[in-house]
Amino acid sequence: MSKIIPFSQLARAQHLHFLEHKRREYQEREDYLTRLRRLLFQIEGQMRQTEVLQQDVFLQAAKHFQIDLAFPSQGDRLALQRFFVENPFAFALTEFFAGRLTAEECLEKIQAISSKP
C-alpha cells in the first residue's frame, strides 16, 4: 500500500524548493555583478590614467609656449570640464586636437593669449 504524504509536507517541500531556487538565482546575479564591478574598477583606473596622460599633453604645450596652466583638483570632474571650456589656452588646444582648428589657427589663438598682460 502506498504511503499518503500530508499536504503540509508537500507545501513545505515546495516552499523549500522555491527558496533554494531563488537563492541560486540571486547568487548567480550577485556573482555576475561582482565580476562587472571588478571590470568596471579596472576600466575606471585605465581611464583615469589616460586622462592624466592627456592632461600632461596640455601641460607640455603650456610649458612650450610659456603659459601658466593649473588644472583643478583631480576629483572635481565638473571643475575640470569647466576649465577646458573657460580657459582660453586649454580651449584652443581642445579645438585643435578635435580637428576644429588648423595648427596655424591654434597658434594664432595661443599667441593672442600669451600677448595679453
- Lookup result for grid cell 517541500: 13
Q: What is the pLDDT of residues 23-65, one digit of tens each?
A: 999 999 999 999 999 999 999 999 999 999 999 999 999 999 9
Report pLDDT digits (tens) over 9-24: 999 999 999 999 999 9
CB 69 within 8 A of CB 87: yes
Closest-CA residue to 87 (of 62, 104, 66):
62
C-beta neighbour count of 16 within 10 angstroms: 10
- Overall average pLDDT of the 78-107 stretch: 95
